[in-house]
């Protein structure tokens, strides 16, 4: 009895998944590579705006700073404030979306007098690249069809990685050298196959990490499963929301209460102490009162941060998640974006992940070429037609 032809079946699955997801994966790879050093690029572009000259004037309290900005009738509603321990660093203000759904550009502000220094360069470009990477610029953003398409493409990438590894698995241990060494002296189909398979083998672990972390941004069930696996005993911090009326009568939404930022800031300084380098305060949307606080630690070069929830009316601490108290699984969940883009490994990791993203179109092109050439090889050859010369 002949063995079940598993490899031809896997090759068919690999080809179909590759053709279906090639264009989307190539686009996601390029945009991901562009965003690999977004923070460093924006820091270089905005070096002159992000810092203020030294002076003897003390910085304004966050509440006074926001009040001066909101006094401008043409200014948007402040949504987030990023402050630094560095006295020469400007404060970055991000605004909420307007009635038309558009979000105004953020601004750098002088912390001493609330003077607007300017709009960050490159912000609109990277915002567009991010929307293209996550949602293909389709309407609805995270609630539209783009999120489902990119999620399906990443699932297809997992299928490609698994089937590709099985198809490439060496029959003999001694063939590993040929398995990992590209044959650059070949041409045509041979070169395409060598580039596709050998480089894909080298980058397989990187693409697998990208896929398994990226799926958490596409599917809620996957994120819940990842949380259950890595941190089953840690319920996520919840933002406060207004309670529904007990008598069941429909009421209009309550008016949002003013946020006492100075009380919030006092709580942040008490809880974070002298451990932070940068703090971001995200103000509540709608009628909520909880302010989300992210505090990046100054003694950690790996992007570690503490998180707090502070009541914006009373300044009371609602919840706290300190990085030092987290389990390894909780730390992985907290830094899943850093894992996704390789920055958790420092500069070498960022470079490797950037190159992997930039090479994604190579697999799309070589995969299509291999599929077309394979179809041609399988096409039955026609018998040459014989034309008789008159008189023969």
Tokens coding 378:
């399988």
* ∠ Cα 353 143 206 (to 5°): 15
Length of the chain, in residues? 392
What pLDDT score was predicted for residue 236? 58
Does position 259 have pLDDT exceeding 90, yes or no?
A: no
Angle between helices 123-135 and 145-168 (to 10 degrees): 70
Does position 43 have pLDDT exceeding 70, yes or no?
A: yes
Q: Who's near 166: CB < 8 A, 6+ residues apart? A: 7, 10
The distance from CA 140 to its chain's CA centroid, rounded to whole angstroms, is 18
CA distance between the termini of the chain? 53
What pLDDT score was predicted for residue 383? 52
Q: Give the residue-averaged pLDDT of 366-380.
A: 83
Of 3-7, 21-25, 78-82, which range is least confident? Answer: 3-7
CA distance 354 to 322: 30
Greater pLDDT, 253 or 8: 8
CA distance 195 to 176: 16
Does position 279 have pLDDT exceeding 90, yes or no?
A: yes
Does position 274 have pLDDT exceeding 50, yes or no?
A: yes
pLDDT in tens, 75-115: 778 999 999 988 889 999 999 887 777 788 999 999 998 88
Angle between helices 200-214 and 145-168 (to 10 degrees): 150
What pLDDT score was predicted for residue 380? 63
Tokens coding 379:
């096409």
Greater pLDDT, 225 or 374: 225
Does position 139 have pLDDT exceeding 60, yes or no?
A: yes
Does position 135 have pLDDT exceeding 80, yes or no?
A: yes
What pLDDT score was predicted for residue 8? 87
Does position 185 have pLDDT exceeding 60, yes or no?
A: yes
The distance from CA 245 to its chain's CA centroid, rounded to whole angstroms, is 38
Q: Is 310 helix (H, G, I), strand (E, B) or coil?
A: strand
What pLDDT score was predicted for residue 385? 54
């Amino acid at each position: 009895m002949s063995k079940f032809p598993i490899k031809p079946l896997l090759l068919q699955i690999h080809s179909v998944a590759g053709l279906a997801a090639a264009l989307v994966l190539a686009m996601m790879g390029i945009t991901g590579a562009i965003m690999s050093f977004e923070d460093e690029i924006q820091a270089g572009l905005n070096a002159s705006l992000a810092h203020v000259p030294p002076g003897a004037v003390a910085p304004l309290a966050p509440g006074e700073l926001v009040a001066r900005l909101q006094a401008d009738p043409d200014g948007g509603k402040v949504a987030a404030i990023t402050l630094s321990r560095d006295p020469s660093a400007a404060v970055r203000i991000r605004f909420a979306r307007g009635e038309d759904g558009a979000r105004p550009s953020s601004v750098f502000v002088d912390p001493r007098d609330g003077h607007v220094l300017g709009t960050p360069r490159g912000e609109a470009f990277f915002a567009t690249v991010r929307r293209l990477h996550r949602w293909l610029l389709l309407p609805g953003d995270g609630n539209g069809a783009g999120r489902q398409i990119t999620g399906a493409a990443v699932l297809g990438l997992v299928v490609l990685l698994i089937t590709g590894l099985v198809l490439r698995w060496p029959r003999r241990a001694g063939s590993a050298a040929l398995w990992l060494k590209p044959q650059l002296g070949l041409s045509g189909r041979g070169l395409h196959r060598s580039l596709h398979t050998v480089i894909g083998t080298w980058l397989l672990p990187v693409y697998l990490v990208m896929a398994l972390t990226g799926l958490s941004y596409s599917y809620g069930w996957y994120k819940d499963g990842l949380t259950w696996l890595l941190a089953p005993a840690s319920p996520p911090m919840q933002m406060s929301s207004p309670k529904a009326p007990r008598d069941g009568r429909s009421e209009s939404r309550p008016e949002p209460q003013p946020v006492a930022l100075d009380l919030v800031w006092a709580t942040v300084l008490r809880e974070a102490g002298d451990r932070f380098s940068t703090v971001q305060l995200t103000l509540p949307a709608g009628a909520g009162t909880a302010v989300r606080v992210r505090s990046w630690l100054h003694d950690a070069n790996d992007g570690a941060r503490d998180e707090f929830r502070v009541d914006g009316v009373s300044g009371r601490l609602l919840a706290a998640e300190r990085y030092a108290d987290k389990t390894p699984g909780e730390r992985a969940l907290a830094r899943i974006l850093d894992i996704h883009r390789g920055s958790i490994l420092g500069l070498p990791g960022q470079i490797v992940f950037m190159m992997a993203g930039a090479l994604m179109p190579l697999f799309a092109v070589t995969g299509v070429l291999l599929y077309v050439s394979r179809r041609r090889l399988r096409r039955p050859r026609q018998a040459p037609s014989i034309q008789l010369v008159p008189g023969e």
